[in-house]
Amino acid sequence: MRALRAAMLRVAGLFSKNSCERELSAELESHLQLHVDDNLKAGMTAEEARRQAMLKLGGLERTKENYRDQRSVPFLETLMQDLRYAARQARKNPGFTFTAVLIMALGMCASVAIFSFVDAALLKPLPYADATRLVGVYESIEKICPQCNLSYPDYLDWKRMNVVFSSLELYQGRRFMMSGPAGAEAARGTRVSDGFFRVLGVAPVLGRDFTPGEDLPSAPRTVILSYAAWQNRYGGSPDVLGKSIVLDDQANLIIGVMPRDFHFALTGATEFWTTIHASQVAGTCDARRSCHSMFGVARLKDGVSVQTALANTVSIAHELERRYPESNRGQGAAVEPLSESIVGSMRSLLLLLLVGAGLLLVIACVNVASLILVRAESRRREMALRGALGASQGRLVRQFVTEGFVLVATGSLAGLALAYGAMRVLLSLIPSYLLEGMPYLNDLGLNPRVLAFAGFVALVAGLLFSLTPSWRLASSNARQGLAEGGRGSSGLTWRRFGSNLVVVELATAVILLVGAGLLGKSFYKLLHVETGIQPDHLALLQVGAPRANYGKDEQAVALERLVINRVSSLPGVKAVGIATLLPIGGNGNTTWFRLVGRPYHGEHNDTPQREVSVDYLKTLGARLLSGRYFVESDDMSKPRVAIVNQAFAKLYFPGEDAVDKQLAELSGKPPFTTIVGVVNDIKEGPLDVETRPAIYVPFNQNTDSVFAIAVRTQQDEQSILPALIATIRQIDVGIVATNPNTMVQRIADSPSAYLHRSSAWLIAGFAVLALVLAIVGLYGVIAYSVSQRTREIGVRMALGARPGTVYRLVLQEAGLLAAIGIAAGLLGSLGAATLMSKLLFGTTAWDLPTLAAVAGVLAASALLASFIPARRAASVSPVDALRAE
């Protein structure tokens, strides 16, 4: 306690120096007076009395010095001195200070901002109990669908037969029709098995969890709200428990509310969870073993590895395949850590960005270090002078260390502030539907881990910045430094060292530029992928009608015709089509079939199927290759018909015309479906996935109460969206109209386009900064070299060298550095590009045009950067150069 109090007062003593100093002088003066008085009384002369008193005190200055040491902390005292000196130095060279701090801040900003994303997505554990023991469980179909949904009957068998999971649960995120006093609306919810929250190890913050057996059809329907839904819909009122909400025409009792920080990324933003209550009506999806609609999540038993669990589930899948060949042929199993399911797709992108930001940081640090070196060079005389006046080598090094860390601290603080802004900007650039699938980004920010990372970077940078000039200091000596215009070996040493730094910078810039070039090219290729449609002037709207009123086939067909009719009469509408699913989505919603009249050995013919209206394909701008489009008369009363895409025709009817061929269900029994047309390949799935064979069937023969409208317009397609929504509302307020969009926007916002665009832009941003920094660095080295060789150049010119010779002299030096840097960079970028080949689309890592373009850009910039100092050198007047000494 006493020691602490004393220590605090000593630190405080640093700041109250002047008043203390005066008080000490007064006290010592009074001490001497008292002593002199005594000495005089003892009979000394006035002079002798003062001399003796002084002697006895042991010297005034020495006493003061000892006293000062006790008053504050000597180490801190000199530190404060150094800090003040550093601040003065910084103010004296605002250009240097500003540049160095800015570069440092930029490097820090990029790396910290990207690291915070890496931290939120990859480092921070999922908010579940013992999350590393959780796994995602999937059915799989070889090559077609590595991680597919489970069917409910399969799930029940897996749950019963497995020996590796302490529990296996189900979830299915989907839209529900939520009916309220203001009409119906679509709400995002999740159907779960009763143990869903228990397997995650998370309990509701209010109310109770589902109890075992609560997901059975016989149990009363219950629902647990998300925290956000509780706040938004019920104002956070605790008496929400016991109320009920109507979902899909069924009343559900609210029994609980989940905690605020609970999220389950795989279902996106969900407002509530309700239990499965599997339908037992034959033919419904829940009752069919071949209808795959749900995903599994499980907790591994103690000591069971993911591999063991996978082996066990695969053997169960084989067993089911044997028992139910009709529905389960080719159905395998997949098990992977839950975290992999959630963030696996983000990992390579984030790591790529982190490496990019890291490289930028390297360049920034190298750049600042060489700036510091140049300045240390110009301060050689100052240091030599201080050394000559008695400052120890250690004391001088400390000065550099202090200055280095002041620079880093300022730059880092500015960088952190910028990084915070950058995080917000990056977050706002993520389309909201993608962000909903990444709830772990919600608490993105400067948390302790991110700050620790920033601190570590700052520490390394600080060491670099303080040690480089110190090392430089050690290699010179005072006499040399003091000599006016001294041109010792030290100048040469630095030039070599600075040159090495520049080569590093140039090489790093090349790697980043090549990365940006490859990603940019991938993105371009992706946007120019053949979609098979004309995306401009296409407005889109999602429609959901309550099953109670529109669930029957004739009701759905009537609604479809009414919608098409009303929308067609809107001004500027050229064509209208509806489909159950729009292009540039997923390759899901598949159908199984066999070819009539061909031998069948249980092949897994599984292909996406879309139910479309008569004019849908025409509306999209697809081209009919043979046969005919659907007509209004292709309805329930007529034989089943289908249109297939080109990929389908090529795969199943190579060298033949697919038209008039027939397809059957897996049973192989009639009714058959006749192919009436072949249409060009439409990109139903993601842009970066090869178009799969697909089947289009008439909506009128395969109805649904949920579908999408596509409208080809004369005018700007965006402007028709409000009228489109109003039209649907006019038909029935109970129908939900969501996701108004344009096809162009849908393509641009699709996950693959977004991921490619964001990575290309970010890496391009890093690369441009890196290029600027590297070129500035090269300029610095060459300019310094020229300034060091002014005298030499003067002598050469006095002896008759022509300006051209001088140009060559300087450009040769720069050219050599640039050549080495570019060559090293190209080598490095081949490695880097191979590492990121997974993120490339339609572009190889060895993309020669990109490599050549980058080399060209860098060479041109390097030439420009060295031309300025070369010109200066060539315009040196020999007389001035020689006289400057």
Partner 1 sequence: MSDKADVWQGTLALMALKTLETLGPLHGYGIARRIEQTSGDRLSLNYGTLYPALLKLEQEGAITSEWGVSENNRKAKFYKLTRAGRKQIEKATRDWEQTTAILARFLTESGGQA
| Rounded Cα distance, 401 and 395, in Å | 10
The yes or no reply on residue 25 touching partner 1 (CB under 8 A) is: no
| Nearest to partner 1 of 66, 244 (CB atom) | 66
The yes or no reply on residue 246 touching partner 1 (CB under 8 A) is: no
* Complete DSSP assignment for 12-31: HHTT-HHHHHHHHHHHHHHH
The yes or no reply on residue 2 touching partner 1 (CB under 8 A) is: yes
Candidates 25-33, 238-246, 577-585, 824-832; binding stretch for partner 1 (CB under 8 A): 25-33
The yes or no reply on residue 716 touching partner 1 (CB under 8 A) is: no
The yes or no reply on residue 48 touching partner 1 (CB under 8 A) is: no
Neighbours of 163 (CB within 10 A): 10
The yes or no reply on residue 14 touching partner 1 (CB under 8 A) is: no
Q: Taking a C-beta distance cutoff of 8 angstroms, is the pair 580, 704 a contact?
A: yes
Minimum distance, C-beta of residue 11 to partner 1, in the bound complex (Å): 11
The yes or no reply on residue 715 touching partner 1 (CB under 8 A) is: no
Candidates 19-27, 108-116, 503-511, 826-834; binding stretch for partner 1 (CB under 8 A): 19-27
The yes or no reply on residue 719 touching partner 1 (CB under 8 A) is: no
Tell me which of 44, 51, 63, 731 binds partner 1, using CB under 8 A: 63
Candidates 33-41, 85-93, 240-248, 439-447; binding stretch for partner 1 (CB under 8 A): 33-41
Encoded tokens for 129? 């109990």
Sign of the alpha-carbon dihedral angle for 422, 424, 427, 429: negative
Q: Taking a C-beta distance cutoff of 8 angstroms, is the pair 514, 850 a contact?
A: yes
| Nearest to partner 1 of 27, 530 (CB atom) | 27
Tell me which of 14, 17, 21, 35 binds partner 1, using CB under 8 A: 35
* Complete DSSP assignment for 564-633: HHHHHTSTTEEEEEEESS-SSS-S-SEEE-EETTS--S----EEEEEEE-TTHHHHHT--EEEE----TT
| Nearest to partner 1 of 8, 636 (CB atom) | 8
The yes or no reply on residue 62 touching partner 1 (CB under 8 A) is: yes
Largest distance between two CA atoms of the chain: 139
The yes or no reply on residue 31 touching partner 1 (CB under 8 A) is: yes
Minimum distance, C-beta of residue 54 to partner 1, in the bound complex (Å): 10
Q: Taking a C-beta distance cutoff of 8 angstroms, is the pair 610, 580 a contact?
A: yes
Q: Taking a C-beta distance cutoff of 8 angstroms, is the pair 674, 662 a contact?
A: yes
Candidates 31-39, 117-125, 400-408, 433-441; binding stretch for partner 1 (CB under 8 A): 31-39
Neighbours of 599 (CB within 10 A): 7
| Nearest to partner 1 of 10, 729 (CB atom) | 10
Tell me which of 16, 30, 378, 714 binds partner 1, using CB under 8 A: 30
Candidates 64-72, 276-284, 296-304, 687-695; binding stretch for partner 1 (CB under 8 A): 64-72
| Rounded Cα distance, 652 and 593, in Å | 12
249: Cβ contacts below 8 Å, ≥ 6 apart: 177, 179, 546, 547, 548
The yes or no reply on residue 46 touching partner 1 (CB under 8 A) is: no
Q: How many residues interact with partner 1 (rule CB under 8 A)?
A: 30
Tell me which of 16, 25, 45, 66 binds partner 1, using CB under 8 A: 66
Give the burial class of 524: count Cβ atoms within 10 A of its Cβ; 0-12 exposed, 13-18 middle, 19 or more buried: middle
Minimum distance, C-beta of residue 390 to partner 1, in the bound complex (Å): 24
| Nearest to partner 1 of 3, 799 (CB atom) | 3
| Nearest to partner 1 of 37, 443 (CB atom) | 37
199: Cβ contacts below 8 Å, ≥ 6 apart: 134, 167, 168, 169, 297, 298, 299
Tell me which of 14, 17, 21, 28 binds partner 1, using CB under 8 A: 28
The yes or no reply on residue 42 touching partner 1 (CB under 8 A) is: no
Using DSSP's 3-state secondary structure scheme, residue 431 falls into: coil
| Rounded Cα distance, 393 and 83, in Å | 18
The yes or no reply on residue 3 touching partner 1 (CB under 8 A) is: yes
Give the burial class of 467: count Cβ atoms within 10 A of its Cβ; 0-12 exposed, 13-18 middle, 19 or more buried: middle
Using DSSP's 3-state secondary structure scheme, residue 205 falls into: coil
Encoded tokens for 751? 């996950």
790-798 vs 751-788: helix axis angle to the nearest 10? 60
Binding residues for partner 1, per CB under 8 A?
2-3, 5-6, 9-10, 23-24, 26-28, 30-31, 33-35, 37-38, 56-60, 62-63, 66-67, 69-71
